[in-house]
Amino acid sequence: MAKMQFKQWMLHERYGQYNGNNAIIVDVQPMYAQYMSFRVQNFAEFLKQTLKNRKVIYFFNGDTVGSNDNKEEISNWLAEAVRENTPYPEDDDEEIYWQDHEDTYSLFHNRCLWYDKGYGFFRSWMDHGVSDSTIIKTIRYMIMKRINDSRDLGEEELQFITNGEDIPLHDPLFIPSIPLNVLKQFSGAFLCGGGKSECLKEVTLLMNALNIKYTIVSEFTY
């Protein structure tokens, strides 16, 4: 895993002019806006520029966790953020102004690969204090054996995999319904979102287990 500051690669006055990487976004959505330490307008500009010539996986928490957020709501929220950063034209050409807004919405809605990833697939073990290395080792073993729920492993088998580390045997670690073959195609991508010790960390653990490289953009993590 690499880390970088946004300013290190923002080489022009517009965000992402020289951004050569795909991107993976985790839970940048209205539901969590109050926790974000960055301006949504800046993030939306970053995403807009990235989508001009790169691919984006956009993970979010939707109705699986009782959220009303979906790709339509999030796309509109981001397009509104871009519009707020766009000066109203001096010639008062309102039609062009709003067409730009619709084009931005369509860019977000149609060009991102949207996945309602679910919530808490590794959290029971994380919150229990199980080490990252043990979680990663278990994820790899489960993927290799095509097992989605750690409760489908025997207790002795789990103890062997985890080298006897204290684990919550009755609280499962499970493989999320994220298309792993698609995720592997994003090796080397920028990664951002949140929360750093929660959903974002779950995604990094999964990517580490699959040896998928990534660079965290600190400017857009929370």
User: For the chain (length 222 residues), average pLDDT per consecutive 10?
Assistant: 50 46 96 95 92 94 90 96 73 61 92 92 96 98 96 93 93 92 94 95 97 94 96
How many other C-beta atoms can be found within 10 angstroms of the C-beta atom of residue 160? 12
The single-letter DSSP state of residue 88 is P
Token pair 């109050």: residue: 34
Structure tokens, 70: 């979906």
Give phi and psi for 2, each to the nearest 5. -115, 160
Token pair 């590794």: residue: 122
**Per-residue pLDDT at 12:** 43
Residue 102 CB burial class (10 angstroms; 0-12, 13-18, ≥19):
exposed
Based on DSSP, count helices (H) and strands (E) in the chain, helices before strands: 9, 6
**Per-residue pLDDT at 83:** 84
Please give the radius of gyration of the chain, using alpha carbons only, rounded to the nearest integer: 19
Residues 6+ apart with CB under 8 A from 133: none
Amino acid at 180: L
Nearest to 137 by CA among 163, 166, 168: 163
44, 66, 91, 109, 126 from 47: Cα distances, Å? 5, 26, 28, 12, 30
Residues 6+ apart with CB under 8 A from 66: none
Give phi and psi for 149, each to the nearest 5. -130, 125
By the 8 A CB rule, do 129 and 73 touch?
Answer: no
